[in-house]
Every structure is written in structure tokens, then in C-alpha cells.
A and B are shown apart, each in its own frame.
Chain A
Amino acid sequence: MSELFSNIDWYDIWIATLDTLLMLGGSLLFTVLLGLPLGILLFLTGPRQMFQRNGLYAVLSLIVNALRSLPFIILLIVMIPFTKLITGTSLGVAGAIPPLVVGATPFFARLVETALREVDRGIIEATQSMGATTGQIITRALLPEARPGIIAAVTVIAITLVSYTAMAGVVGGGGLGDLAIRYGYQRFQTDVMVVTVVLLLVLVQILQSIGDRLVVHYSRK
């Protein structure tokens, strides 16, 4: 057993796991904070919606599509000057969070837009007929009705962020991915690679099952 895992420094693994969790938590928080309003805006300005604005929707859509089509590994590098500007460093957990957020937010906004479109138009009409303001329609009808869809979107984006954090290792972002590349790949320490991959797998499983449970809990249909 100790033969098999001879290369492993469990303290390093522990620190890397913490870093991954920090990157995941931080970037998920900002992705939701930025992506939810962006998704609502995409929905409202979209075709045949309450605030249909073809021009604005086209511009937002283009930006979202452009960011989504950029490979994350490229985004990581392109973002370095900007990251340094807002966090003071492009390394470690703090350096990884801005590119993670920029990489995940457009995807999350699209998922939110789709979840909102699933809400029956009749519900919007009924709420309008009660004399609701647009803000009330969003907070009292649209978001509660779309809640299971939005929770599913958060789950998808959390798992996407786990794989993005692994890539952040390439530019010195820290975390399990960083460990896997530096020890598992560059130093041929396969056991380190195996342990990190297993840990990432466990993390993804946990996130998915939490998400699934919450979706079931909030689904009333």
C-alpha cells in the first residue's frame, strides 16, 4: 500500500483539495451573482418577450457566444493582465477566480435564460393581469417557477467549474489539477495523478447528487 502511493504527500493533497474547493466556491458565487441577472436580461430582451429589444439582445447574445466559443485554456492566458489588475496576481486561488468567472458566466446565463423560457407564458400573463410590476413578475412568478431549472443550471455550472479549476493549474492556479500536472504528468508520478482524479470524481459526484436532490425538493409539478 505505502509502496503503491510512495510519491504521495498527503499534506500537499489536502492543500490542493482546499484550493480547488476555494476556487470552486469563489468562482461559483460570482458566476451566479453575475450570470443570474445576465440570464434574466437575455430572457426579457429576447424574441417575443416582455422587453423585446432586438438590438440589445443581439449584442448580448454575440458577447455570450464569443466568450463561450473561446477555449478556456486560451481565456486563462488572455485574461492574465486583467486578472492582475483586479486581484493583484495571476497566480493561486485569487488569480484563478476571475478567468473562471468569465469563462462560466456566459454559459450559466444561457442556462438561466433557457430555464426562464420553460416557464408557461400564461403565468406571466396571469401575474400581469393582477397588476404586477416587472420586478414583481420576475421575483414573485418567474424565478420561483424556474427554481428547479435554475438549481439544475447551478449544478451543471459547478461541475463545469470543477473541470475548469483543473485547467487553471496550467497557469499556476493551484489546486488538484495543478498537482496532477506538476507531479502526475511532468514527474511521471502516476499515483498522484490517480489520487487527484479520484478526488475530482468524488467532488463531481457529490455536487451532482446535491443538485439532483434540491431539484426534486423544489419541483411541484
Chain B
Amino acid sequence: MIEFQQVTKAYQVAGRSIPALHSTELTIEAGQVYGIIGHSGAGKSTLLRLINRLEEPSSGSILVDGEDITALDAPGLRRFRQRVGMIFQHFNLLSSATVADNVALPLRLAGELDRRQIGERVRSLLERVGLSEHADKYPAQLSGGQKQRVGIARALATEPSILLCDEATSALDPHTTRQVLQLLAEINQELKLTIVLITHEMDVIRRVCDQVAVMDGGRIVEQGKVSEVFLHPQHPTTRSFVFDDESSTDQAEDFAHVPGRILRLTFLGEATFAPLLGQVARATGVDYSILAGRIDRIREQPCGQLTLALIGGDVDAAMTHLAAAEVHVEVLRG
């Protein structure tokens, strides 16, 4: 578990103090995939680097499994960092070392295993990320997706309990991004690893994260379960992330000329596939028109959101019917 307690960070630039992170409280449960989304300059990169103290906090404390890591001395910090893997947007592999030597590097630095054990560990890691046949190549000979998989194998070498991902898919194309995210999700399940990732793409959050925090101007402005934040965004920044790539504003004002009662239904899980609207229409005699909608998946869970206008028939009975089903109903206009 990772806990931020009143953590702040300010940079000293030309004698002035520039705040990068305002007082922040944050709890990340063990085994979760925790996403932090924000535009550039929102402070998400600073927040991520505070977890392994690549950035030192200006005040506050950061507890990892109950231990205050801000109090660690230099040797303690080095041992702690061996329990925290990190992958990067630009991979940061040694260009002068082969794939196998890159993956072996954290093990050689730690100096706890002998040559044979390191060789075995590297082989099994490369096999896990599907790069066994590339062990003797240099990073320059690999594609972006392959480089990031080397990065992941390297980050996992010391069997860490936490993996930090710094915009790990931002330099990759959409297809490769999905493959890398899939690998991260599998690793999270197999190794019960806590993953903290930062991104500026809602799609990344939706595909792999359990929890999300939205950052803006050095503050966490919204946080919670991904399904909750994704389907019911509150803060304007969150709304811009959620609706940006869906060309839907989802605002009732846009439907001012549409008659009837306007509702927004949110489906989650198997309810998404139930033939609910037809049943309700037949039972209560209402007509409906669909004004806006989206159907998607959050991790493996299907979800959908429809904006409807209900006209004629027994609208109140229809409402009761809908509320009884596993559907979240919001009235946008009575």
C-alpha cells in the first residue's frame, strides 16, 4: 500500500518557489492498477517520481507498506528502490548493452545473485515478455513495442512489489499500446503487483486501471473507481478527458428542442446487453428516442450510457421499471 500524507513539492527556480504539487492525500491499495491522468504540467510526473524518491518531497510523508520512505538514508533508499520497478516513455535502455544485459543490469547492481542465477532469471523474464529470440540484439535493432517490453522485463528483474509506469505507452502506436497494456494487466494479475501509471490518455486508464486520480494544476481534482469516474465525471478536467475522444458533450441543453422527459441511463456489466428498453416500452406504452450514447469496456467489464427522451404512455411507470433493473437512472430534464 502506498499512502501520501499531506505531501507537497515545490521547485526552487531562480530564488522563487514554484509549486508543482499542492498538499496531496492519496492511498493506493496493494495489487491495484492505479492510473493518474492529467495534461502536461499537471504534476502527475512529479507525483509518480515521489514514490521512489527520484523527486524529494518538500513536506509531508509517503508511506509504502507502512514504512516512511522519506526518512530512508542513502543505503536504505537504494534497497527500497530495488523493490520498485519503473518503466519510461522513452524506454531509457542502455544503447551500449544487449537486451539480455539490459535486463540483467538491476540484478548486477543489486549484487545478490550469482552469474548463473542472473542468467536464468533473465531468460525467464525475456520468455515472459516474448523476447527470447532477441536476447543478443541491441535496443536500436528493436521496435518501440519490443523496447518497452525489454523495459518491463528489466523493471521486473528484482521482483518488485510496485511498478511505476511513466507515460509508458505515449511513444507507441495504438496497436502496440494495446499489447503493452495487455502485458501490464497480465503481470498485475500474475504477480499481484501494484501498478501506478501516469498518462494523458483516458483510453489507457479505461483499459487497465482499477482506480483513477485526475490531476490538474498540481492537485488531484477527482479520484475513485474507473467505472465511476468514467461514467459520472464531475470535474471539468475529467469531463474533458472522458468526452474528448467521443464527440459527445452529453449535455441536456443540446436537446432543448426535443420533447419529453430526458434521462441518462448508465449500464454496467451484463445489464449492458439486456433488451431492457424494448421491454419497458412494451410494458408501459412509452416511446423513446435515443439522443446520445456510448458503449464501451472498462477493463473487461462492458458498460454503456444512453441519453433518451421518453414520450407518451406512462412515463412514471417506465421510470420505476428502469430503476428496478440494474441501471443507473439520472433525470436530465423532468
Q: Are B86 and A144 within 8 A (Cβ)?
A: no
Contact string against A for B residues 127-158, beta-carbon threshold 8 Å, 1 for contact and 0 otherwise: 00000000000111000000000000000001
Determine if B105 is an interface residue (Cβ-Cβ < 8 Å). yes
Q: Is the CB of A220 within 8 A of B95?
A: yes
| Contact among A126, A131, A136, A218 with B88 in the assembled complex (CB-CB below 8 Å) | A126
**Cβ–Cβ contact B96 & A145, under 8 A:** yes
A-chain residues with CB within 8 Å of residue B158 when the two chains form the complex:
130
Residues of B within 8 A of A120 (CB): 90, 92
Contact of A131 among B92, B110, B164 (CB under 8 A): B110
Q: Which of B16-24, B75-83, B255-263, B282-290 contacts A (4 or more CB under 8 A)?
A: B75-83
Contact A220 to B82, CB < 8 A, known contacts A131-B110, A132-B109: no
Q: Which residues of the partner chain A approach B79 to less than 8 Å between Cβ atoms?
A: 131
Is B54 in contact with chain A by the CB < 8 A criterion?
A: yes
Interface size counted on chain B using CB atoms at 8 A: 28
Cα distance, A131 to B160, chains bound together (Å): 12
Q: Once the chains bind, are B94 and A145 in contact (CB under 8 Å)?
A: yes
Is B140 in contact with A130, judged by CB distance below 8 angstroms?
A: no
Chain A residues lying within 8 Å of B97, measured Cβ to Cβ, are 144
Q: Chain B contacts of A130 at CB under 8 A?
A: 81-82, 105-106, 109-110, 158
**Are A218 and B84 in contact (CB-based, < 8 A)?**
no
Q: Tell whether, in the assembled complex, residue A145 and residue B78 are in contact, meaning their CB atoms are under 8 Å apart.
A: no
Whether A144 pairs with B92 at a CB distance below 8 angstroms is no
Complex interface: chain A residues within 8 A of B77 (CB):
131
Q: Name the A residues within 8 Å of B52 (CB-CB).
A: 129
The main secondary structure of chain B at its interface with chain A is mixed
Interface residues of A in 105-121 (CB under 8 A from B): 120
Whether a CB of chain A sits under 8 angstroms from the CB of B235 is no
Number of contact residues on A: which range applies?
Answer: 20 to 34
Bitwise interface map of B from 84 to 108 toward A, beta carbon under 8 Å scored 1, else 0? 1010101011111100000001101
Contact B78 A133 (CB under 8 A): yes
A147 beta carbon closer than 8 Å to chain B: yes
A131 CA to B157 CA in the complex, in Å? 13
A89 to B77, CA, bound (A): 53
- Taking a contact as CB atoms closer than 8 A, the residue among A131, A132, A220 that contacts B96 in the complex is A220
| A220–B95 CA distance with the chains assembled, in angstroms | 6
Interface centre among A123, A125, A131 (most CB of B within 10 A): A131
Measured CB to CB, the closest approach of chain B to A106, in angstroms, equals 27
Minimal beta-carbon separation of A202 from chain B (angstroms)? 32
Q: Across the interface, which residues of A come within 8 angstroms of B110, CB to CB?
A: 130-131
A141 within 8 A of B: yes
Given contacts A122-B90, A126-B86, A221-B95, contact A131 B109 (CB under 8 A): yes
Question: Can you name 7 A-B pairs with beta carbons within 8 Å?
Answer: A122-B88, A130-B82, A131-B79, A131-B109, A131-B110, A145-B96, A220-B139
* A→B interface (CB under 8 Å): 120, 122-123, 125-133, 136, 140-141, 144-145, 147, 218, 220-221
Shortest Cβ-Cβ A-B pairs, 8 listed: A131-B81, A126-B92, A122-B92, A131-B78, A130-B106, A129-B86, A144-B96, A220-B138
With A140-B108, A144-B94, A145-B96 given, name 13 new contacts (CB 8 A).
Answer: A123-B94, A127-B109, A129-B81, A130-B105, A130-B109, A131-B81, A131-B110, A132-B78, A140-B105, A140-B109, A144-B96, A144-B97, A220-B96
